[in-house]
Chain A
Amino acid sequence: MEIYELSALELGRKIKQREISVAEAVQASLEQIRKKEPQYHCYLTIDEEGAKKRSALVQKQIDEGTFTGPLAGVPAALKDNLCTKGLKTTCASKILENFIPPYSAEAVLNLEAAGAIILGKTNMDEFAMGSTTETSFYGITRNPSNPEHVPGGSSGGSCAAVAAKECFYALGSDTGGSIRQPSSFCGVVGIKPTYGTVSRYGLVAYGSSLDQIGPVARNVSDCAAVLETIASYDPKDSTSVKRDDCDFTSALYEDVKGMRIGIPRDYLAEGLQTEVKDAVLAVAKELASKGAVVEEFDLSLVEYAVPAYYVIACAEASSNLARFDGVKYGYRTPEYDGLHNMYKKTRSEGFGAEVKRRIMLGSFVLSSGYYDAYYLKALRTKALIKKAFDAAFEKYDLILGPAAPTTAPRIGESLQDPIKMYLGDIYTVAVNLAGLPGISVPCGVDSKGLPIGFQLIGNLFREKDLIRAAYTWECSDVSGARQREEEK
């Protein structure tokens, strides 16, 4: 078997057992990148030199016994909104075209402390605003399952890179589904942890109250191991939560007996592609056959999550993105007349259409006279949505549903109609509003061969429930995971 075919944990094991050297692992990834990148364009920056240099250092520390973790020496990719010291971080925007951060995100530091090798930075929707990775200033990413289709977004580069085996795992960020939706489109596993589990320090903010960093990997086990590595309490992030239950790999066992799983009826309603619905119901059936108690229920308020989400996310974004003004870093327009003209030209030239659209909407809903009607209304709606989930989790351990209404759309199809595009987030955004953890796991393909993913939503801090159920599904005969494994 080729090195690049191994899962992250398998590779880590072989490195530890001296079967494969770190340099060989890095070489394998770089070769795969060389082969696949011209077609898929998953990366914005490939740090070949840095990765090679670090591989020697990491090898030494593994040999000396400093790095003993399961991911030591395993090459990974990072979404380009995670700050990396000395390595360009653009958020796929022209406005940050030359930005080289003087520090690394806490999650990245955690990976490095576990012996990770960073291969480079992955493509994304500009500032994570989008669901297709088509809003990137630096060109689109193609779905490795079918290059005529989008990989989803905004963490499309990370998910496509994992699917194309151009890295062993990747980090993404999820504000309204940006890990889970592209994971489902690309046929990989992605987790959005409970808000506060992974430090946001060094993640370029989109919607601060919604953003979370999470792992994208080829299977549930890798995902759990990466999440375990990046989760930490960080005094630099005031919203970081002290948890002592981050040993997520301990939940990797097959057992859903007695687990109560609810499927929101609204999630199966109109707008859902039939093949997706069937695949999700097949998962429900399988989990039930393994002893879970699965039933449909009314979650309520489902249709209000997307509008509430867009008000909150755009409002926060309009403020978070104010700092990009041509003064301290990034792009500045070459010609201007005075300060305000410099601001306006810099920002108008530096931001793409979707980012401008959201900044305008966000500025409007916060402006004098509209704050109560829009912003406060959205925060009240958020409270109601949280309450609806609280009620659901009194009855169920997990909520099961699709990750997206359809499989990956064709390139160029989605951006025409923003509202339609936003509606694609209907199953994911509520999770961010309520701060809950969610996982997206592959469960088959549609007639065109495009991957389908299902989503499990857990109560706050219940990632282990997600992981256990997802792992149980993955181990089942019908999941297809074993077949994929055998095809290698």
Chain B
Amino acid sequence: MANKITDETIDYVGILAKLELSPGEREQAKKDMEEMLDYIDLLGELDTGDVEPMSHVFPIHNVFRDDIPANTDHRGDILANAPAQKDGSFKVPKTVE
């Protein structure tokens, strides 16, 4: 089964991933994704009907922190790398029209 990636799909994935591809990149991306998906479809050969999906390799659970405040004010450090800041906050393009 050969996968077909349409322009709409590439645009849609671009919205999800916040990536804007140039026309050249788009064609390449379509081709790459089709090839990768064809390759991934190899997994279809496996009968995984009764297999539980495994996200964690070992059964560790209940890793907790106590509810005790520890952090002090790190604002200077936190903001030091900001591309734009104002009044102790991160500055971004206006979020409401």
Residues of A within 8 A of B (CB): 98-100, 102, 195-196, 209, 235, 238-239, 241, 301, 303-304, 307-308, 310-311, 318, 322, 325-332, 336, 338-345, 347-348, 351, 353, 356-357, 359-365, 367, 374, 376-384, 386, 418-419, 422, 434-435, 460
CA distance A341 to B51 in the complex (A): 42
Contact A360 B54, beta carbon cutoff 8 Å:
no
Partner of A311 from the list B29, B40, B95 (CB cut-off 8 Å) is B40
Task: Say yes or no for B2: interface residue by CB 8 A criterion.
Answer: no
Task: Say yes or no for B56: interface residue by CB 8 A criterion.
Answer: yes
| Chain A: minimal CB distance from B81 (Å) | 4
The 9 closest A-B pairs by CB, nearest first: A379-B53, A435-B57, A329-B81, A102-B77, A380-B48, A332-B83, A383-B54, A344-B20, A363-B17
Query: How many interface residues does chain B have, given as a range?
Result: 35 or more
A359-B17, A374-B40 given; 12 more Cβ-contact pairs under 8 Å: A99-B81, A327-B92, A330-B81, A339-B92, A362-B17, A364-B9, A365-B40, A367-B13, A367-B16, A377-B46, A380-B54, A418-B35
Contact B57 A386, beta carbon cutoff 8 Å:
yes
CA distance A461 to B77 in the complex (A): 37
CA distance A166 to B75 in the complex (A): 37
Partner of B80 from the list A102, A322, A327 (CB cut-off 8 Å) is A102
Task: Say yes or no for B63: interface residue by CB 8 A criterion.
Answer: yes
CA distance A311 to B48 in the complex (A): 16
CA distance A356 to B45 in the complex (A): 28
CA distance A380 to B52 in the complex (A): 6
Residues of A within 8 Å of B46, CB to CB, are 301, 304, 377, 380-381, 384
| Chain B: minimal CB distance from A6 (Å) | 38
CB-contacts of B39-92 with A (<8 A):
39-40, 42-46, 48, 51-58, 60, 63, 65, 74, 77-78, 80-84, 90, 92
CA distance A419 to B83 in the complex (A): 37
Partner of A380 from the list B35, B51, B77 (CB cut-off 8 Å) is B51
Residues of A within 8 Å of B78, CB to CB, are 102
| Chain B: minimal CB distance from A104 (Å) | 12
CA distance A361 to B28 in the complex (A): 13
The residue of chain B having its C-beta at the shortest distance from the C-beta of A345 within the complex is: B20
Q: From known contacts A328-B82, A360-B13, infer whether A419 and B35 are also in contact, taking CB-CB under 8 Å.
A: yes
Contact B83 A331, beta carbon cutoff 8 Å:
yes
Contact A307 B19, beta carbon cutoff 8 Å:
no
Partner of A419 from the list B14, B39, B56, B92 (CB cut-off 8 Å) is B39
Task: Say yes or no for B23: interface residue by CB 8 A criterion.
Answer: no
Residues of A within 8 Å of B77, CB to CB, are 102
- The 0/1 profile, CB within 8 Å of A marked 1, for residues 1-45 of chain B is 000000001101110111111000100110011011101101111
Contact B48 A347, beta carbon cutoff 8 Å:
no
**A–B Cβ pairs within 8 angstroms, 5 of them:** A102-B74, A304-B43, A340-B18, A357-B32, A384-B46
CA distance A242 to B65 in the complex (A): 15
| Chain B: minimal CB distance from A295 (Å) | 26
Q: From known contacts A330-B81, A342-B92, infer whether A381 and B48 are also in contact, taking CB-CB under 8 Å.
A: yes
CA distance A304 to B39 in the complex (A): 10
CA distance A129 to B54 in the complex (A): 23
Residues of B within 8 Å of A338, CB to CB, are 93-94
| Chain B: minimal CB distance from A61 (Å) | 26
Partner of B21 from the list A102, A348, A362 (CB cut-off 8 Å) is A348
Contact B21 A356, beta carbon cutoff 8 Å:
yes
Contact B42 A318, beta carbon cutoff 8 Å:
no
CA distance A347 to B39 in the complex (A): 27
The residue of chain A having its C-beta at the shortest distance from the C-beta of B10 within the complex is: A360
Partner of B18 from the list A195, A325, A364 (CB cut-off 8 Å) is A325
Contact B83 A327, beta carbon cutoff 8 Å:
yes
CA distance A381 to B40 in the complex (A): 11
CA distance A340 to B18 in the complex (A): 8
Residue of B17, B19, B40, B78 most packed against chain A (CB within 10 A): B17
Residues of A within 8 Å of B37, CB to CB, are 364
CA distance A356 to B57 in the complex (A): 28
Residues of B within 8 Å of A98, CB to CB, are 81
Contact A418 B42, beta carbon cutoff 8 Å:
no
Contact A361 B90, beta carbon cutoff 8 Å:
no
CA distance A325 to B19 in the complex (A): 10
CA distance A223 to B51 in the complex (A): 37
Contact A303 B33, beta carbon cutoff 8 Å:
no
Q: From known contacts A304-B42, A348-B20, A418-B36, infer whether A241 and B57 are also in contact, taking CB-CB under 8 Å.
A: no
Residues of B within 8 Å of A374, CB to CB, are 40
The residue of chain B having its C-beta at the shortest distance from the C-beta of A379 within the complex is: B53
Residues of B within 8 Å of A367, CB to CB, are 12-13, 16
Contact A348 B19, beta carbon cutoff 8 Å:
yes
Residue of A195, A331, A343 most packed against chain B (CB within 10 A): A343
Contact A376 B53, beta carbon cutoff 8 Å:
yes
Residues of B within 8 Å of A235, CB to CB, are 65
Residues of B within 8 Å of A328, CB to CB, are 81-82, 90
The residue of chain B having its C-beta at the shortest distance from the C-beta of A235 within the complex is: B65
Q: From known contacts A344-B18, A360-B13, infer whether A379 and B54 are also in contact, taking CB-CB under 8 Å.
A: yes
The residue of chain A having its C-beta at the shortest distance from the C-beta of B41 within the complex is: A307
Residues of B within 8 Å of A332, CB to CB, are 83-84
CA distance A227 to B80 in the complex (A): 33
